[in-house]
Amino acid sequence: MSYIAERRIEEKERRRAEIVEAAERLYADKGWDAVTMDQVAKSARLSRALVYVYFRDKEELLFAISQRAMQVLRERFTEAARRHVRGIDQIHAIGRAYMAYAHEFPHYFDACARFQAHSVATEPGSNEGACRDAGDQAIAVVVEAIAKGIADGSVRADIGPPMLVAVSMWAFTHGIIQLAMAKGADLAHLGIAPADFGEFAFGLVHDMAVPRRPA
């Protein structure tokens, strides 16, 4: 590849990153529904037409942000699991890392939720496909922890296929976080602190996952 061709590719990647970063800043400040492509172009100091060269619509831009969100989530999961030896402890650490991630990056958590809620295209575009791949890598960390727990005896051997268990745990934890974040006042009205709610929920996961004691 020629020097000029390499520079063009670098410039294209730099501009794409600038657009995504501008959109992400607006997302964090305003919420995704309030963000417009015009605002993204203005924040990135690019023309609206040029933004559409890189992203055909707002949904494509959301996929690009969601990919970043999934990549950060995978990193957090990996780091959390690395600090523990037993599979069951890795599972709990991953769950807590997910909760911390949601509070530290609420716009990333929202992006993940929006991506998971949308209908995946039969032949996803490059941004959608990259986001799905990043999500697969994040869930793979959970699957590995479950498989490790089954192997080391800290997780029930009959709990089920690790992938099915991982997706179920992800859905369960995601719902708990959403409820704690969106309905904190309602929980308080019921006399439940959001932190206690999370700990109790993790206790249920633990009781579900650990080997059963003989009667």
pLDDT at 122: 52
The distance from CA 140 to its chain's CA centroid, rounded to whole angstroms, is: 12
SS3 207: helix
Q: List every span in the chain annotated with CATH 1.10.10.60.
A: 1-55
Torsion of CA 62, 66, 68, 71, to 10 degrees: -170
Q: List every span in the chain annotated with CATH 1.10.357.10.
A: 58-209
CATH code of the region 1-55: 1.10.10.60
- pLDDT per residue over 120-149, tens digit each? 655 666 788 888 999 999 999 999 999 999
**Homologous superfamily in CATH for domain 58-209:** Tetracycline Repressor, domain 2 (1.10.357.10)
According to DSSP, residue 159 is labeled S
Average pLDDT (44-73) is: 94
- pLDDT per residue over 64-93, tens digit each? 999 999 999 999 999 999 999 999 999 999
Whether 3 has a pLDDT exceeding 70, the answer reads no
Whether 53 has a pLDDT exceeding 90, the answer reads yes
Give first-to-last CA distance, the chain, whole Å: 69
Q: Rounded to whole angstroms, how far apart are CA atoms 17 and 69?
A: 14
Give the global pTM. Answer: 0.88
- pLDDT per residue over 5-47, tens digit each? 677 778 888 999 999 999 999 999 999 999 999 999 999 999 9
Whether 183 has a pLDDT exceeding 90, the answer reads no
